[in-house]
Amino acid sequence: MTSFIFDLDGTLTDARQKINNKFKDFMHEFAGKYSCYICTGSDYPKVEEQLGKDLSDKFVTIFACSGNHQFSQGNETYKSDWQISEQEEQYFINELEKLNYPHKTGKHIEKRVGTVNVSIPGRNATVEDRKIFIPWDKKHDARNTLAAKINQEFPKLEAVVGGETGIDIFERGKDKSQILEGFNKNLSVHFFGDKMYPGGNDFALGVAIGALPNGKVYNIKNWQHTYEILKDPNFIP
């Protein structure tokens, strides 16, 4: 049996946007044929909002919050009880205040189950706000720099870059690779993600799957790239 694991933002959808209707129809059919999973740094409500409950329910398991919150057909099957300390949260706030990014929109820290998302422009950023932030971040390397500082300051935490504006923070060792505990590692496992580089939130899972006997990893540019691979007649699961 072949299993397919997909990241969400940048892999099945544009960041924080709903899935393309044509691609959604295709994924309905694809997920009906194969064992499909989602592993995302986002929380479950965002998955359902972006894919629709009808498509979300087609996936065997939704590994939300980097696997720290798990759902099957909308029903919770696992929930981490980890939370950041007041000291850690204050450190994030102080570091964000030091950054001179000029277009901050508010709500920079979002606590999720088993994880925290820190956004430099803010979780309230619009699509246009994101378009301003992305080139600024590429120029200043702000997210990678802040994630490295957090990892150095707090050895028990792990900070990785995720999505277009955020940094995902969780208990060290509780990254996306934790989801493989429930998989038969001798079977064929394919993983599609857009943050496969060191420091990206798909990296740990990509490395773990790449080490499997029948693991295959796809470094995705955008959802169109995923669609292109899956619908290619020469793509053999």
Cα separation, 121 vs 102, in Å, equals 9
Cα separation, 174 vs 172, in Å, equals 6
Q: What share of the chain is helix, strand, coil (3-state, %, to 5)?
A: 40, 25, 35
Indicate if 7 belongs to the active site: yes
Of the listed 9, 43, 194, 202, which one is catalytic?
A: 9
Of the listed 7, 43, 168, 175, which one is catalytic?
A: 7
List phi, psi (to 5°) of 218. Answer: -120, 120
Residue 140 burial (CB count, 10 A):
14
38-69 as b/e, with b when 16 or more CB fall inside 10 Å?
Answer: bbbbbbbebbbebbeeebbbbbbbbbbbbbbb
Q: Which residues contact 211 (CB under 8 A, 6 or more apart)?
A: none
Query: Tokens 């080139």 belong to which residue?
Result: 135
Indicate if 168 belongs to the active site: no
Catalytic amino acids?
7, 9
